[in-house]
């Protein structure tokens, strides 16, 4: 079995939010499906760290989740900045059950053990928080990351952290999130959110004992990245 990751699928089968207006996103759904099923097996796991669907509510996400459910493997989804449909973990799981979606799990204040590895994480937040509202969200996200890491510790295994927002770039650091990452037992951290020219600012190296890397879908050319075998 293997663990893969690909963020920012930005699916929109039930809403008018075409991604092909952006360079490199033409026909991406078919490319994603072909690449995904070519590398991911039925017994494998795929982490999607945020921006899963453009749907504004659960009903608008249904065809997107049916598409993901049809792909190989078990999918573990996380919240991104464009997941406006996002509700509680229990409500999302109820929605999946009611619509016979069986291969998608939710990572939110929890963790999942897979062989010798345990996946954990949260959405994260912006580098610069000048408004009090942003500071509150950032501190809440830091708390969620700690909670997820605590759950990972209970499960055992080597923790691997997944975030939507990058905790570090070539020029900036989100200290509140970054400090938790590098002080944790995790040695690897993967994130999404960055697209187009912004990927040039992605930090994709080791720092303070942790290896960071970008897994946004267009950066990966719509092919899930292998994270670990177990």
User: 74 near 45, Cβ under 8 Å?
Assistant: yes
Contacts of 21 (CB under 8 A, 6+ apart): none
User: 173 near 167, Cβ under 8 Å?
Assistant: yes
**pLDDT per residue as tens digits for the range 36-86:** 999 999 999 999 999 999 999 999 999 999 999 999 999 999 999 999 999
User: 88 near 59, Cβ under 8 Å?
Assistant: no
CATH tag for 2-229 (out of 3.30.70.260, 3.40.50.300, 3.40.50.1240, 3.60.21.10): 3.60.21.10
pLDDT at site 63: 98
| Helical spans, DSSP H, in the chain | 28-39, 58-70, 89-98, 132-155, 175-183
Alpha-carbon gap, residue 76 to 12, rounded angstroms: 19
Helices 175-183 + 132-155 axis angle, to 10: 10
Alpha-carbon gap, residue 203 to 201, rounded angstroms: 6
pLDDT at site 133: 79
Q: What is the pLDDT along the chain (230 residues), one digit of tens a residue?
A: 999 999 999 999 999 888 988 888 999 999 999 999 999 999 999 999 999 999 999 999 999 999 999 999 999 999 999 999 999 999 999 999 999 999 999 999 999 999 999 999 999 998 877 677 788 999 999 999 999 999 999 999 999 999 999 999 999 999 999 999 999 999 999 999 999 999 999 999 999 999 999 999 999 999 999 999 99
pTM score of the predicted model? 0.97
**pLDDT per residue as tens digits for the range 115-129:** 999 999 999 998 877
Residue corresponding to tokens 């923790």: 159
Domain boundaries, the chain: 2-229
> Helix (H, G, I), strand (E, B), or coil: what is residue 28?
helix
Sign of CA dihedral 213, 217, 223, 224: positive
CA distances from 104 to 56, 76, 142, 215 (A): 19, 6, 25, 19
């Amino acid at each position: 079995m293997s663990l893969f990751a690909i963020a920012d699928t930005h699916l929109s089968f039930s809403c008018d939010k075409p991604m092909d207006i952006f360079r490199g996103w033409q026909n991406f759904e078919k490319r994603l499906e072909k690449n995904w099923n070519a590398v991911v097996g039925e017994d494998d796991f795929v982490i999607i760290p945020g921006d899963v669907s453009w749907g504004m509510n659960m009903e608008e996400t249904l065809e997107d989740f049916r598409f993901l459910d049809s792909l190989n493997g078990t999918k573990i989804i996380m919240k991104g900045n464009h997941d406006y449909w996002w509700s509680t973990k229990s409500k999302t799981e109820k929605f999946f059950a009611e619509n016979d979606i069986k291969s998608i799990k939710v990572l939110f204040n929890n963790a999942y053990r897979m062989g010798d590895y345990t996946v954990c994480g949260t959405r994260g937040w912006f580098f610069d928080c000048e408004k009090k509202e942003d500071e509150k969200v950032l501190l809440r996200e830091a708390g969620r990351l700690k909670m997820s890491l605590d759950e990972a510790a209970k499960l055992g295994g080597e923790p691997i952290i997944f975030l939507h927002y990058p905790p570090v770039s070539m020029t900036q650091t989100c200290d509140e999130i970054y400090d938790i990452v590098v002080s944790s037992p995790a040695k690897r951290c993967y994130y999404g959110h960055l697209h187009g020219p912004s990927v040039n600012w992605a930090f994709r190296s080791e720092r303070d004992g942790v290896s960071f890397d970008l897994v946004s879908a267009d950066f990966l050319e719509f092919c899930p990245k292998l994270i670990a075998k177990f």
